[in-house]
Amino acid sequence: MSAERPEAFRAPVGMHDVLPPDSRAWRDLVAAFADRAERFGYELVITPIVEHREVFERVGEATDVVRKEMYDFDDKGGRALALRPEGTAPVVRAFVQHRPTVPWKVWYVAPNFRYERPQKGRYRQHWQVGAEALGPADPALDVEMISFAHGFVRDLGITQVRVLLNSMGDGSTRVPYVEALRDYFRAHATGMGDEFLERVEANPIRVLDAKREDWQDVIERAPQLTEHLSPEEQQHFETVQRGLDAIGIEHELAPRLVRGLDYYTSTTFELAGDALDAAQNALGGGGRYDGLAEEMGGPPTPGIGFALGIERLLIAAGAEHAGRGTATTVSGVDVFIVDHLGGLEATVLLHELRESGLRADRAYGGRSVKAQMTAANRSGAAFAVILAPDEAERAAVGAKNLVSGDQLEVPREQIAGWLKLRLEGSAVER
């Protein structure tokens, strides 16, 4: 095959391979999230990576994520599909389709696709871990979600994290607010350009989170949603704040925090990572979407969720720990077999060690003993098990401690138990 177009054999722009040893941090992060989710009573949900385009159009017709950035296509049967740009819509679609009993509390890990301008911390495929809970409108659930997300970020060793909090109101407060906001922006539109006017007409809330420097003056003086909340919404918002106070989670009110998708109602929140560049400092966020299930044809069901960007979490954790000599996790095995015999003994012993629960590996291809010892040392193993003719005659193997260099002879039939005893006892540093 000729490589006339060498870029065809590279990952697409804005998309990345994650290779060892970096992939170890991913694996650990997802395992920690799964563990925490289960402690909070959430179960794994897996949905397709593509949905009918309407699923996403329904949740954000006026958003960049849906209007400009979606990877959409027609399949061979003429169905209009899209690669998922975010994680909430598919979960709510699954809820509406299957009608599980509520409260329905689920977590996920999945890639999302957005045709954005790639830069550090912003990619065309990024991964999220997230959680959604459908059923209760109880503000205690809002507090649970925020503490789930916040505690997870802290567990990763990210200390520079701020919780930003806002309330988007519900339909009845949002409609008059949007009108008031539109009127305000129209009155201040002179010299702001076509894009401003377009956004104001499509959805003036989308102006509030615009990053354009030249718009900031007007945005800062715009009417605020929290001034328009109904008494019930106000009470809900205050209860959430008191709940966070009660469990010691500091939070800042952020009246212009409207998040990038249109489905949010009531509580919205974001976790800002201050070790990240200011433009890309959102580790993640979420909020309530009390109208979404009904909009997708389901029974009226309140819901709330959050998602955290895996790449951003790892950048933030790396930035905070750089230069501090962190005990990074090193992948590797416990035992490495060095084979001087060249027969099936190594295959049989390796099988036995692995099936007994040990992490074990070997060199392949009949390499020299020296090369095998080098591979053993590089593998991170605590012990090398050496298969050599002299020991074999005595039905034994050599067991070399790769840290101290000490070597012993151990009866062949006892080696698995012997290794387990030592590895469990020493809790080998990895």
- The site for ligand AMP (CB under 6 A) is made up of 86, 114, 116, 121-123, 126, 128, 259-260, 282-285, 307, 309, 311-312
- Closest contact distance (angstroms) between CB of 211 and ligand AMP is 13
Beta carbon nearer to ligand AMP, 151 or 260? 260
| Distance separating alpha carbons of residues 43 and 55, to the nearest angstrom | 23
Q: Which two tokens stand for residue 284?
A: 């993640």
314 or 335: CB nearest ligand AMP: 314
Q: What is the dihedral of CA 132, 126, 147, 168, to 10 degrees?
A: -70
CB closest to ligand AMP, residue no: 309
CB 270 within 8 A of CB 166: no
Which of residues 161 and 283 has its CB atom nearest to ligand AMP in the complex?
283
Which residue, 128 or 301, is less far from ligand AMP as judged by CB? 128
Number of Cβ within a 10 Å radius of residue 122: 17
51 and 90 Cβ atoms separated by less than 8 Å = yes
User: Minimum Å distance from CB 266 to ligand AMP?
Assistant: 16
Q: Please state the closest distance from residue 281 (CB atom) to ligand AMP, in A.
A: 9
**CB closer to ligand AMP out of 104 and 289:** 289
CB of 270 to ligand AMP, least distance (A): 7
Beta carbons within 8 Å of 69's beta carbon, 6+ residues apart: 85, 114, 115, 116
- Cross-strand bridge partners of residue 269: 165, 286
CB of 31 to ligand AMP, least distance (A): 19
How far apart are CB 137 and ligand AMP at their closest, in Å?
22
The three-state secondary structure class of 146 is helix
State which residue, 316 or 410, has the beta carbon closest to ligand AMP: 316
Least separation, in Å, of the C-beta of 113 and ligand AMP?
Answer: 9
Contact 180, 173 (CB under 8 A): no
Question: Coil, helix or strand for 272?
Answer: strand
In the complex with ligand AMP, the residue whose CB is nearer, 285 or 291, is: 285
Query: Which residues have a Cβ under 8 Å from the Cβ of 232 and sit 6 or more positions away?
Result: none
Q: Side chain identity at 326, as an amino acid letter?
A: T
Range list of β-strands (E), 121-185:
125-134, 161-167
Residues 315, 159, 275, 430: what is their CA dihedral angle, to the nearest 10 degrees? -30
Q: How far is the CB of 287 from ligand AMP (least distance, A)?
A: 9
Strand pairing class (104-113; 43-44): parallel
Tell me whether residue 82 or residue 410 sits nearer to ligand AMP (CB atom): 82
CA angle 19, 25, 30 (to 5 degrees): 110
